[in-house]
Every structure is written in structure tokens, then in C-alpha cells.
Structure 1
Amino acid sequence: MHRVLVFLLTATWMMGCAGRERSRHLGQNWTHYVRIAGHSLRKDNIDEIIQSASETCVYGIETDNSLTGIYESFLDPREKLEAMRIMAEKAHAVGNKVFIYTEGLEIITPNADQKEHTFFKDHPDWAQRDIGGRPAVFGGGTAFWIREGDEDVWISPYASEWRKIYMERIRQIAATGMDGVFVDIPYWMTHFRGWEDTWASFDDYTVAAFEKATNLNARTDLRLGDFSDPNFVKWVDFRIQALTDFMKEVAENGRSVNPNFVIIAEIYPGIEEAAVRVGADVYELYQVVDVIAHEYNPGGKSADRDPTDWFAFMTGMYSFRAFADGKASWMLTYSWEGHENISPADAMENLMMSQVMAGANCWDAANHVMSGSNDYEARKRIFKWIAEHERTFYRPRQPMKPIGVYFSPKTRNYFVDQFIPSYRGVMYLLQQSHLEFQVVTPRTLRKFQGPILVLPDVRCLADSELVLLRRFLESGRALYVTGETGACDEQRQRRSRNPLHELLGIDNAELPAKSVSGKRFIYEPECIGRRYYEAVQQEFDDCAYRGEYCEARFERIRRDFVDRLIRDLQYEGAVQVSASPFLSTQIALVDGKPHVFLANFKGLKGKENANQLPEREVAIAFTASKNHKVYTLDFLGEPVEIPAIWKEGRLHCVIPEIRRGMVVWAE
């Protein structure tokens, strides 16, 4: 009977969701093509999991039995390891991949009020603590996953005895045949009520490690929350590095057993301040893990979002894809939870449309948990369509003639309130002006080949970054510099003279300046990105609901920005797109063909309407030869060739209507 079931499920899978292997590009693996759903794992529900995954076109099965997150199984993992072994064997038998969820720095003793031995009673020194010595120990009701009577403890990553056992458990998981481990919550405790401003942890292990690294006493030698204090800045850096090193060690231990074992980190902080406070910075973590599952939900669930929330979401995803630098990005995000005026299917379609347009992988879940679905039929329909067109969305996207936007982790860490509005604003400007963009980071600055690089109030620049910016200018390319870019070094120390201003020949930092020949640049003491972001926050949603924008302040700022790029910096894109600012646009080469990825947010209104106003008469001009043709792929539709006219080296077409989203390309 088991063999018959395996045969039937494999046949179902091959008929509905086949074709993955042929889509893979050099440097890619299965993680780039997943369509995920989560499941609680027990020995008695494995066949049910396999069947559900096969029927709903899931590729990449998440399973959860909290081996390291429950005290009893942390001590004796044998039963849960055996369930993993069986699950891996059966998933592989039907051609699927499977990974296991486990906790990072959190552990629960269920019914602790009835037990003599609990994690904290046995190991009080392993707990994180605030600066006053209060342990990070919580009870029922603190979070939805902690039940009455439970003991919830957040552990110091420097508790050496615990860490030794934890890494042994990772090696044991890798030996089961699981394709990967999904590590949740590798965080410093700053996200429960009453702990937000603690900048934990000040347990003995962590304090000793900080002193060894810096010769400073974390309890006495820094001013908590004061970024003007150089010692506190060292504490901020130390906390981020500590969690990055922890996940690096997880990866090393898993791969020591199975070189192909995949390490996934679940992280909720994105590009904003939470990354600094929690200490889990996805920019840093992408260097040491294989995948990050971003539990990133600006504006709440899909059904809650207004158009500005959607652009924040897109900006986050485009940033993650840049940080990943070729690795996969999974989106553990939520669509719907009892919204009366919005159907689950509409919310799911908008969410997954936005994700595939950004090149990120989808995870279907019910409400605010990792498992289930708000609509299994919708999941099946969407996942099947993604499987059929995965090559379009998940093959590498290569730049053509992009405008770079510089994301500075150090500036975000130390000047978040100034940097993020400026960075987001520039990203909004480029997406809503339908210009090709590329997020550039300190890791990718050296290889960036675009003609223009925007530095949106990037206050912290290291000497090594300044050297590369000099080379960029000397190559004949242009800088668009705003705000106090270059005022500080990479440790937040203000320089006596701004070296970037000296490089550009800026004598008066209070006045705008530009040069259209020689060293080409635009300098604005007031960041146009920040101005645009503020205008968008005030006006954009109301305009988007109506589909009108011509008289809006944000539109005047946007036109001014585009005029400066074209007039002063002589920018001309490889692909030209004419559409309203309510569409987010990404332009890139896929398999050598120019593609335009369009996500429509016109007419959406959080909690009220999840069906877009159609965007009509979208004009696109590709730099292409006469014999090229133009194709469209509507979200949940099929490829269609559309009429195109070749004129003066460009292939021109007009898209009659875009509802949710669309891909357009020339070949």
C-alpha cells in the first residue's frame, strides 16, 4: 500500500508541478524554486503532510516539532529525530524537499508550574538578562505561543554548555536526511513588552565575551541607547556580530554532517530599526546562511495594506534580494485573518503577486501562523501557476543600465531615523518612475557597473568605500549625493572635514551643487528621497484609491527628480516605461532577455478593497533589434505575444490593461 501511495503522489506531483530541474541556473539549487507550506510533524501524520503538499503543489515542505525549543526534547531528542528521518525519506520518495523548524535562542518547558525540573530552574545562568539582572523568563500570555503554566526562557548565545549541546542537536538533525534546518528567533530579547529598551543581554557569559573583545565592561562603561557614545556603538556592533557568528556556527555544524545541508534563518527585522535593536541583521546574516525566511510585514497582512505599505514591502524585498547576492529569499508573510470585506483568495493573490514580481519565494500560511492556509484551492491554483512559470521569476535577474541606490548598513545602524526615509524615498522614486534600479551595498559596490549611483544621506562611509567612490567617479560615471553623506566614518565618528565633499569640490555644504562634465555629480543638502517619502506618506494613498495623481505634490517632486537624471546626468534607460506611479516596476535581464516586472497597487485600500483599478495603456520601449517580438505574462495567465513597432532602435508596445501584475519581455 505504501508503494502504491508513493507512486500515486509522485504521478500527481509530476503532472502538476514538474519541471524544476531544467529551470535551475548555475549557482542555484532547490531553495530558489520553493513554494512553501508549513506542517506540525508527528510520526502519525507524515503521509497526510505528503499528500497535502502534493495536492496543493507545495515544493519545499516545512515541518515543525520544536526539537531544541522544548526542554524535554532538547535533553532527549530521539523520538523527534526519528520522525524527521521518516519524513525526509517519504518526502524524497515523491521528489520533494523537506526542512525542519527549530528554535534558536528560545526554549519552553511546558507545564513548568507542575515540574521540579525546568530549563531555568536547572540553568539560571544560561538565561539572557537586562542590565539590572532581570532574567528573560516569561509565562503564559506573554506571546501567543506560550501557554499558561509554561516557562519561556531566552538563552544567551554565549552560554557555552548550552551552545555545545545545541550544536550537537544541529548535527543530529542533519544526519536524519532532512534537507535543511529552519532556525527561528536567533534574537537578543528586546521584543517582548517591557524589554524593548533593554539592549540585552547583560548575563555573565555575554558581558565576559564583550570585555574580551573590547576591554569594556558592558554594565558600567556604556550609556544604553546613546548612539553618540562610542562604547555603546561598540555594543551595538558586538550584538549583531554575536548573532551572525552563532548562525555561522550552526551552518558549520550542519554541513560537517551533510555538505548539502541548508541553513535557513527566520528573521522578522527587515531594513529598519528592529534589526539593530534585536541584533539580527539580514544584511550580515546572508553571508553565513543559505536562505533567510523574512517574516516581514510592513503595514500588517496583505488585506491590511494600503498602497504606501505595498511600496514599503516591495522596497524591503528588493533590498533583501540585493543582500542575498544570488541566494534565495523566502517570504514568510501573512495574507488574511477574518477581514470581512476582503476574500482570502484576493489577499493571497496580491501577496504572492508582489513576491514573485520581486523574485522572492512564497510561503502560504493561515492567519498569523506558519501552517495551514486561508484557502487551499487558491494556494493550489497560485502555486501551480508559479511552478509553470518559475523560470521567469526565479532565474537570476541581471542589470542592464541601472541607477544604483546605496544601502549603508552602518548608516542604518547609527542614523536610522535619517537614513531609512531617505533610502525608501529614493527607492519609491525609481520604482514609481519606472526606471531601472539596483540596490548597491558595501559588498557589491566594487562590481556595480551602472551609470549613476545615488547616496541617500549615507552619513557613515569607511575609507575603503570612499576609495571605490573615487574610482567610480574617475570612470566617468555620476554620483547623486544628498544630505550629510560622508560626514562620519564607519564607527559614527564625525570627521573634521567631509572627504566626499573634498572629492567633489563642494565648498559650501549648505548649498546645492552640480557638475555635468568632468567629475559628474548632483549634490543636495536636503535629500530629495526624504522629501518624496514624506509627500508620499501624506498624499499617495488617497491618490491611489482614486487613480489620480497629476496635481499631487509627490508627483511634482518625482518629475523634478527624473528631469535631473535626464538633463543633468544624461541618463537614458535600456528600457523605457510609461505608466502611473501606482505601479512598481523592476527592469532586468533574465536569460539574456530584457524583462519588465510590473506590480499594480492602484485602487487598493486596506481592510476594504483588494481588487486593483486596472492600469491601462502602459507604453514600453525595449532597446532591441527589428526581429524581436514582445510577450506578456499576466499574473495567473499565460504568455501572449502582443503587437510591437520597431522605430529608431527601439521596439515599442502598448499594454492594454494590467490588473494585478504582469511581466513583459522582448526576445
Structure 2
Amino acid sequence: MPIEPENSFLYKFSRRKFIQYSTALTGGITVLPILSQQATANASVSEQQLFWYQKPLRITHTVLRETDARNYDARVVVDYMKKVGANTLCINAGGIVDFFQNPLPAANINTFMGKRDILKEITTACKEVGIKVIARIDFRGVEEHVYKKFPDWFKKDMDQNPVLLTYTKPQLYEACFSGNYRNDYANEFISYVLKNYAVDGIWHNAPGFGGVCYCPQCQASYKAAAGKAIPIINSATEEEIDQYMAWKVQAGDQYMDRIKKTVKSFGEDKAYTAEVFSMYGVGQRIDSGIDLNNARKYFDILVSVAFLTENTEFIHYEDLNYGSTIIKFLKSMVPEREAVVMYGGNGTSHRLVIDPPVDLNIWLWEILSAGGRFWNCYFTNVPSVTHDRRNAYNESEAYTFVKTHEKLLEQHVPVANIGIYYSQPTRLSYRKKMEEGDHFGTEIRGVETVLMENHIPHDFILSDQLSKERLQKYKLVILPNVRCISEKEITLLKDYVRNGGNLLATYATSLYDENGNERQEYGLAEVFGVQYAGKKVNTRKDNYQFILDKKHSLVEADSPHTELLFNAGFTALSKPNKEAKIICTWVPTIQNQPPDKAWVQAFSTEYPTIVEHTYGKGKVLYFANQPDLLSYEPGHPDPRNLLVRSIRLLAGDAISIETTAPSTVHIGLTTSRLNAGQYILSLINTTSGPRRPIRELIPVHDIQVKLKVEGKSVDSHQVLRSQGECRITSKGQELTIQLSKLQDFCAIHIQMKT
């Protein structure tokens, strides 16, 4: 029976409420409990039996083309996997095209396969040598002949015409969350595969659908939930769109829940997973309804797509540290699950040719340094027999390293007491165009760049996992333009600082509520020591900041040589409280031309750009401008220096690593959740020429690292991988490592007495 509108959960949504609630909804309206990282990390796991998917994964993924079935040789596949040290294969089962003799009614059996059963051949061959198999399924759409058999199973537009996927060739008839194809048929399909084949898990490719579906099932479901018809999107209000998206999120959650229950009905040792797209992706107002949050609710393995380049016309190479960044992010969500990066295929834009090999090797070591694992996604048959075989076996060193040291690497998570705040409401607010025109994540990337270059361990704090207990883990919390913050978050952050935690915040942090509505005052004004003056100014060109407190540690290295520091981006004008220490102030625009007129009456103004403030027992540095963004774009040394000095001032002795290594050497530190006092220190060399992709890796010599970790004293240490001589000495909690040469990757295992 339809729910009356005044009693409907969706009816209670106010304008923009979707931003607040969409990340918390699950199947139905029940919110599933999510353990904080701190609570989960402290859980006793030493005695519990780990499933195979909770141990170090070394996955090879071959998304077969139809034509690959003609000469497919399972023995060659298995031989390749054994040689590279892989322990899991992800292989096509079907959906769009079936690679087995599918007896189900909507089957689309690969015609190039003949009477063979490719899925049977490969699962049998893998089973014989102990390799796990994940079956790839894809129910996003079907070819025309399948659609004509079951036209009522698929997505419809307002006129009840089928909706085609325009980015596929041939164009597929798209399926929605409510139709029979993604539900009854998909679950029957998965059950058949798990019952009849030696399959250990399901990879759910493309689980979401885009846009709006008006099929009878969706209309009935929406009517029951909202008490009204699905809105006509082209003329819908923002509130109506938000209500529709809230329902779509619920529908997506219910859909994923049904699939997972089907998989788990064959045993808890059967894994269910799908990809998580970029942590920096913002998406559209109407998106798939499946987002980052689904990973922790439904997936046994946290997998993020992170290719060196994207599937775009104009190729851009990702930052070399992005692989480790996404692992830190995933581990911050659910530390006990394996966090895996799916890589390969040159971002799918040129999937038939080589990935730049030096960049790719660095990519793998970066992933490993944060406790991550690998999902090698070659797209054509088997790397050793495909058209371009130059990337074949390039994963061997990294995979073999993990295989050799599997027990030591189990259940490792990054070590950090500095946390970068990741705000889901802020991320979603970037769907709305703003004057600044910034891209979400640029500020986070800027902060991470500074931390990585200065070898400072860190991880992420997800806003919807914020708690008093979680915050207690950190000496310093960094808020990189976290615009949207709820009253609950404000209270928790205030208490954190009042009780001795330190805070670094930039620009418009807390100037908006969780729904994206601008406040008249910073939500954290009392903590920052400033009051918002009601205006943001464009300081992108010909702008500076004046050094007012020349003896302050943030600027004392610069002040003997300059009165002005670089400023760009946008600056929020604010007035300081009397107890705040003003370090730098905003300088009005000094026009560049004509040079004769490039002056102002006075540099200093009443509006600070950098303020230090004490709040309770904690210390706060607030930047009214955007040093985080400017550290990434354009990367001027002034904002980078100001950020690292701020971090060192606020973190103090909580920074556990000191090193002579250059900024091009990245350092990772992880600890075991299984064995107390066990650590792995990793060094990754990215030193090269000035251009990407990297042509040549240049070795670094004579590196010293001083490390301090928790424990009474060092019990033992073991060099797991090194190209040069590695000498280690210890005293109490401190280790000193002298490394004569670093070619690409060095790893050291440390066991502390506890």
C-alpha cells in the first residue's frame, strides 16, 4: 500500500537535504552501523580466521573480447599467473556476453565460443593450482535481440520507449534497479554461476545506471516511497530532484543488498565486490545512485579504479602518489578490508597498447607502500599472447614481493597521527557552479603534495565517520577548504581542539552548512579566532600578502629578505579577534601595468590572511586564502613553505620520520592489525627527468632515515628489499637507517617489543 505523503520519509526532505542524507541511506530506510576506524583498528583480529579475500591479493583481470574465445587457452593464462606471482583471476562470466553455455532465458552466449565453455575451462585450470577465481558480471544492458524477448525488463523514458547506452558499440538497451533484468534474472544468473562453477567471488561491473527511469516498476516503487509520480526532470525543482535521488540511492542500496545476499548464500568465503571511482569525482545532480559509501556497506574487497591516465581524448598522467593516496583513503574507510587499486590498460583510452613501464612500476610500489594490493586489469586476452606484449610480466617484481612476504604484509594499515579531513557534503556541493570555479580535491591534493614531499605520514578522516574517539588518534587535523560542515561536526571539532588537538584550516572552511547553504559566520569562527567580513575577493592576479609578524616561525626564514609573500586564488576577508595573532595580512591588488602605477598606499590592511589562535588547550592556524590549492596549482614555493611550516609547528614531535631523502623519494609506513608492534617502512624513488611519462629513473644515494614508532624497543628488523647496502641501528623506540642506494623500492620490516 502506498505511503501517505505526510508520513513518507522522502516527504520530509527539505531543499538540498539529499546532500546531507544520501550518503547515510541503505536499503529501505534503515541506517546500518559503521564502526569508526579507531574502533575497528583496535578490534582483536589475531585469533579470527581470515578469508582469502582478507589476505594480500595479487589479481590478474582479463576482460575478454568475444573474439578471444576462438583461441582461448586456459593453461597459458594459468602459466602466466604462476610466473608473475598472481593468486587470483578475474574473468568474464557474462551478462552482456556470456562466456559459458548459459541455459537461462536471457542468455547471450558468445558465438565465437562454439560448444566450448570458457568459464568451465578457466575455473577448472585455476582450481587445480590453487588460484582463486572472481567471475565478472555486467548487467548494465543488453543487445537488441535479448531486449526484444523481454522488453518489460528494461529502462524506459517518459514515453515508455527503451533507453539506449550511447557510449557503447553496439548501443545497449539499458537496465534500471527495479526491472527484472537487474533483479530476478541477475540473481538467478549469479546463483547458476556460483552453483555450477569453481568461482570464489563476483565482480559486479558497472552496477549503477544513469539518468531517470520511468518504467512501470520504478514508477510504482517511487509512488510507494514518495506518494507521488517521478518528476519530469527537465522541469523539476531542485527539491524534486533531491527527492528522486534519495529514492534512487535507496533503490541502488536495495539492489546491491540483494546481489550480496545471493553471493553470500553460497558461503561467507564467497567475495562480492565492485569498483569505486575517483575519490575526487563529483558527478552530476542525477547520477547512478551508487557512490563511495557503497564500498564499505557491501563490498568485501575495496577496489578503486586508478589508471595512470583517464579514458579521455586528451591524455593527462595522474600524480605518481595517487595510487598510495587512494589506498590511504580506502583504508581510512574500512581498515580491516583489503584495499586494492585496479590499474592497467592505459586508462582504457588506448587499451591495446603499452602503458609507460617506469611510471607503472612506481605506481605499484606506491600502492604497496600504503598497505595496498593490486588488480592488474589488462583488457585483451592474456598479456603474454595479446597484440602488444611489452607490458607482460611488468608486475612480476611487485607481485612476487607480496607473495614472498605475504604473512608479514597481512592486514597492514597506514600509520598516521595527522589526518586530512574528507567531507562528503563538501564534495557534493561542488556540483553547483561557484564563483571560484575550483575543482573538488585540488586543495586535498595540495596538502598531500606538501606532506608527501616532506615525508610526513598522514591518512584521511571521513566526515561521516567523525567521532570523539576517532579524533583522539590525531595530533593534527587538516581542513583543506572544507566548506560544508554540520553543527554536529562543529561541536566535535571544537571539543577536539579545546581538549588539546590542533587544527589547520583554509579559506571557506565551515562557511556553509551540510546542505551547502552559506552561513553568515564561520561555523568554527570561535576556534579560528576571526569573524567573517562577508566578502570573498578574487586574488588570482597581482596579489600578495604582507608579513606583519616578522618573527613568527612561519615567516621568520623569509622576513629578512621580503615584506611580501605570494597570494593567488581567492581570499575570504575576515576580522581577527583581539586574542588572535596576525601573521600576514591581505594586500589590495597591485596592478601590473603600467609599471609606473604598480603601487598602493600601504601594504598592510585590517584583513589577515594567516592567523594563529589558541582555543582551550589546542592551537589553530587559519589561512583566509588558499595555500593548499596554490601548492598544487601553480605550486609556488611560498604557499608550500607556509603549509609545511604550519604542519610542523602544529604536529611537533608527532611526526615520526626524519630523513635526508629528497622530495622525490616517497616514504610509507604501515603497521599490522594482527601483530602488535609490527611495522613496514617503504621508500619509493620517483626521481627522474622533468617530463611525464618517465623516461628514466635516476637512483638516489646515501639516504638516512630516522624513525620513531610505538613500542618499548626494537626487537628485530629485516630488510625485505633493497638495491644498496642497508645499515640499521636502534636505540629504544628509534631506528636509524642508512641506505647507500635506492633504485626504485626499499622495504624494511620492524618488530617492536610491546
| The one of 159, 164, 169 aligned to 2:184 | 164
Q: Which residue of 34, 39, 43 maps to 2:57?
A: 34
Alignment correspondent of 1:413? 428
2:200 corresponding residue in structure 1: 179
* 1:60 equivalent in structure 2: 88
Residues 1:654 and 2:753 are matched in the alignment: no
Q: Who is 1:603 aligned against?
A: 688
Q: CA deviation at 1:169?
A: 1.8
* One-letter amino acid of the structure 2 residue matched with residue 62 of structure 1: C
Structure 2 unmatched ranges of 5 or more: 1-44, 111-115, 432-437, 534-572, 575-609
Looking at structure 1, the residues matched to 645 and 452 of structure 2 have their Cα atoms a distance apart, in angstroms, of: 15
Aligned to 1:261: 270
Quick one: structure 1 residues 565 and 223, their matched pair in 2 at CA, closer, same or farther if it must change by over 3 Å? farther
In structure 1, C-alpha distance between the alignment counterparts of 2:262 and 2:320, rounded to whole Å? 38
Larger CA deviation: 318-327 vs 235-244: 235-244
SS of alignment partner, residue 61 of structure 1: strand
The residue type paired with residue 30 of structure 1 is W
8 Å CA contact 1:185–1:267 kept in 2: the answer is: no
- 1:513 and 2:611 equivalent? yes
How far apart in 1 are the matches of 2:205 and 2:276? 7
Counterpart amino acid of residue 88 in structure 2? G
> What is the aligned partner in structure 2 of residue 195 from structure 1?
none
CA distance in 2, matches of 1:216, 1:570: 57
> Greater CA deviation, 374-383 or 341-350?
341-350
Counterpart residue number, 2:642: 560
Q: 2:129 corresponds to which residue?
A: 94
Cα deviation per residue 1:44-75 (whole Å; 9 max; x = unaligned)?
84444444433442201222131465597652
Q: Secondary structure at the match of 1:271?
A: coil
Q: In 2 relative to 1, CA 252–47 (structure 1 residues): closer, same or farther, beyond 3 Å?
A: same
Task: Choose between structure 1 and 2: higher strand proportion.
Answer: 2
Distance in 1 (alpha carbons) for counterparts of 2:121 and 2:46: 28
Alignment correspondent of 2:727? 642
1:119 to 146, 158, 177: 146
Q: Indicate if the aligned counterparts of 2:302 and 2:340 stay in contact, CA closer than 8 A.
A: yes
Distance 2:61 2:503 in 1: 45
Q: State how 1:247-258 maps to structure 2 within 5 Å.
A: 247-258=256-267
| TM-score (normalised: structure 2) | 0.69
Flag the 1:573–1:306 CA change in 2: closer, same or farther, 3 A.
farther
Indicate the SS of the match to 2:625: coil
On the 8 A contact 1:138/1:153 being kept in 2, the answer is yes
- Relative distance call for 1:398 and 1:269 in structure 2 (3 A) is closer
Please say if residues 180 and 261 of structure 1, whose CA atoms lie closer than 8 Å, have aligned partners that are also in contact. yes
Distance in 2 between residues matched to 1:577 and 1:234, nearest whole Å: 52
Within the candidate set 304, 311, 333, 1:294 is matched to 304
Tell me whether 1:436 sits opposite 2:457 in the alignment: yes
Within 2, Cα distance between the matches of 1:398 and 1:619?
A: 21
**Per-residue Cα deviation, 1:309-345 (whole angstroms, up to 9, x for no partner):** 2234432332233234321223221166999998865
1:429/1:532 contact within 8 Å kept: yes
CA shift for structure 1 position 405: 0.6
TM-score (norm 1): 0.77
CA change 1:559–1:38 in 2 (3 A) is same
| Cα distance in 2 between the residues matched to 1:493 and 1:223 | 23
User: What amino acid does structure 2 have at the position aligned with 1:404?
Assistant: G
Instruction: Tell me how far apart the structure 2 counterparts of residues 158 and 559 of structure 1 sit (CA, whole Å).
Output: 53
Confirm or deny: 8 A CA contact 1:630 1:641 kept in the other structure.
Answer: no
Partner AA of 2:426 in structure 1: T
Question: Is residue 585 from structure 1 mapped to residue 607 from structure 2 by the alignment?
Answer: no
Query: Contact conserved, 1:299 with 1:309, CA < 8 A, in 2?
Result: no
Q: 1:410 to 1:364 in 2, by over 3 A?
A: same
Q: Which has the larger radius of gyration?
A: 2
* SS, match of residue 490 in structure 1: coil
Q: Deviations over 1:375-428 (max 9, x none)?
A: 4444445422331123454432253x5211111122112226454111222222
Matched, 1:353 2:365: yes
Distance 1:478 1:235, change over 3 A: farther
User: Which residue, 241, 245, 256 being the options, matches 1:232?
Assistant: 241
SS at match of 1:315: helix
Separation in 2 of the partners of 1:657 and 1:359?
23
- Note if contact 2:362-2:685 (Cα within 8 Å) is conserved in structure 1: no
1:295–1:331: 8 Å Cα contact kept in structure 2?
yes
List per-residue Cα deviations over 1:236-280 (Å, max 9, x = no partner).
444444434322221111112323211021344443224874443
- Deviation larger for 229-238 or 437-446: 229-238
Distance 1:627 1:268, change over 3 A: closer
CA contact (8 A) 2:98 2:107 kept: no
Which range is displaced more, 333-342 or 608-617?
333-342
Aligned twin of 1:282: 292
CA distance in 1, matches of 2:750, 2:208: 45
Measured at CA, do residues 346 and 495 of structure 1 come closer, stay the same or move farther in structure 2, by a change above 3 Å?
closer
Cα distance in 2 for partners of 1:298, 1:418 equals 19
Report the Cα offset of residue 153 of structure 1: 1.9
The residue type equivalent to 1:182 in the other structure is W
Give the corresponding residue for 1:16.
none
For 2:502 and 2:519, the matched residues in 1 are separated by: 24
Is 1:37–1:58's contact at 8 Å kept on the other side of the alignment? yes
Percent identity, aligned pairs only, is 14
Aligned length: 594
> 1:18 corresponds to which residue?
none
Aligned mate of 2:172, from 144, 152, 156: 152
Change in Cα spacing, 1:289 to 1:420, as seen in structure 2 (3 Å) is same
How much has 1:286 moved relative to structure 2? 2.5
Equivalence for 1:425: 446
AA matched with 2:365: M
Q: Would you say 1:321 and 2:335 are equivalent positions?
A: no
**Structure 1: unaligned runs, 5 residues or longer:** 1-22, 113-117, 190-198, 537-552
Q: CA deviation at 1:99?
A: 1.4
Contact persistence 2:345–2:353 (CA under 8 A): no
1:452 alignment counterpart: 476
Change (3 A) 1:234 1:495: farther
CA distance in 2, matches of 1:25, 1:342: 44
Give the 3-state SS of the residue equivalent to 1:280 in structure 2.
Answer: coil
1:613 counterpart = 2:698: yes
Question: What is the root-mean-square deviation of aligned Cα atoms in Å?
Answer: 4.0
Structure 1 equivalent of residue 383 of structure 2 = 372
CA 1:223/1:487 → structure 2, altered by over 3 Å: closer, same or farther? farther
CA distance in 1, matches of 2:162, 2:280: 29
Change (3 A) 1:217 1:503: farther
Q: Contact (CA 8 Å) 2:324, 2:368: kept in 1 or not?
A: no
C-alpha distance after superposition, 1:174-216 (max 9, x if no partner): 3234110111011323xxxxxxxxx444555445544544456
* Counterpart AA for 1:593: Q
1:338, 1:288 → 2: CA distance?
Answer: 31
Identify the structure with the greater helix proportion. 1
